[in-house]
């Protein structure tokens, strides 16, 4: 029997490990991927009665177990959709962890931190303006991480002294971005997969005049680049310079 061309069946399958209460990483990555890439999501375990610092310390070990939660599903790549835990590691150890998780899973596993590093490098930028929704201690870890990775932090803009990533509205992110004056040779990095960034990035990227990245955008870019896929509509709307590097 001759069938019509497929319209809805995916050509690629991408896994995503998300923190249990993260409201943004799943919908944002879905918008950033092309429609022919299916997104399959598993949640990292709930950790009641723990602090952010304790959860961050536990998430990377939990990711190793979480990869098994996809079972026999034939995934082309898996994104670990959390950024903060990597900031406790030197970049070389973080890269080694990504390679170990990939070997364990039998497919590429992408850490958000390493995806960011690759995205900024792909743009030819070595200077970063950090937009942080983190408390002070985690912002300081992020600054040390990116400095050790060979990037110059030109400024750190903190939205709050407490953890706000999951609570920030697109309007609050846009208001924060409007306060920035980035040098023309840098990239703006909104760290953290839990913040609602896409609308704000689309609204402000032209006015800022430099590429604006988020953890979620970098993860989707890394997955698309690995699989030879174009970005989704949100990729071109939020960071045209990165979208132009994809097929």
Q: What is the mean pLDDT of residues 60-87?
A: 94
Q: What is the sign, positive or negative, of the torsion defined by CA atoms of 93, 17, 222, 88?
A: negative
pLDDT at residue 162, rounded to an integer: 76
Beta strands 37-43 and 109-111: pairing type?
unpaired
CATH number of 12-243: 3.40.50.12500
- Residue/partner pairs of 156-161 with CB below 8 Å, 24 or more apart: 156/129, 156/130, 156/132, 157/129, 157/130, 157/131, 157/132, 158/132, 158/134, 159/131, 159/132, 159/133, 160/133, 160/135, 161/135, 161/136
Q: What is the rounded average pLDDT of the residues 118-135?
A: 97
Is the full-model pTM beyond 0.85?
yes
Write the pLDDT tens digit of every residue in 193-223: 999 999 999 999 999 999 999 999 999 999 9
pLDDT at 27: 98
Q: Is the pLDDT of residue 60 over 90?
A: no
Tokens of 2: 């001759």
Q: Give the pLDDT score at 24.
A: 96
In this prediction, residue 182 carries a pLDDT of 97
pLDDT tens digits along 4-52 = 988 899 999 999 999 999 999 999 999 999 999 999 999 999 999 899 8
* pLDDT value for 163: 78
pLDDT at position 10: 96
Tens-place pLDDT, residues 135-182: 999 999 999 999 999 999 999 999 877 778 788 899 999 999 999 999
């Amino acid at each position: 029997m001759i069938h019509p061309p497929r319209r809805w069946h995916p050509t690629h399958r991408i896994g995503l490990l998300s923190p249990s209460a993260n409201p943004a990483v799943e919908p944002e990555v879905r918008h950033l991927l092309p429609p022919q890439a299916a997104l399959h999501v598993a949640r990292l375990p709930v950790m009641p009665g723990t602090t952010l610092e304790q959860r961050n310390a536990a998430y990377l070990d939990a990711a190793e177990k979480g990869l098994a939660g996809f079972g026999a599903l034939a995934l082309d790549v898996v994104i670990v959709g959390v950024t903060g835990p990597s900031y406790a590691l030197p970049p070389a150890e973080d890269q080694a962890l990504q390679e170990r998780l990939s070997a364990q899973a039998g497919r590429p596993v992408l850490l958000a931190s390493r995806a960011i590093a690759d995205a900024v490098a792909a743009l030819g930028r070595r200077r970063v303006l950090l937009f942080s929704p983190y408390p002070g201690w985690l912002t300081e870890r992020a600054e040390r991480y990116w400095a050790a990775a060979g990037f110059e932090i030109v400024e750190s803009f903190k939205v709050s002294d407490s953890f706000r990533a999951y609570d920030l509205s697109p309007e609050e992110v846009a208001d924060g971005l409007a306060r920035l004056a980035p040098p023309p040779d840098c990239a703006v990095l909104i760290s953290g997969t839990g913040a609602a960034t896409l609308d704000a990035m689309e609204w402000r990227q032209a006015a800022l005049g430099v590429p604006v990245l988020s953890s979620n955008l970098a993860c989707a870019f890394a997955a698309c680049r690995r699989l030879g896929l174009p970005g989704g509509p949100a990729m071109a709307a939020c960071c045209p310079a990165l979208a132009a590097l994809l097929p």
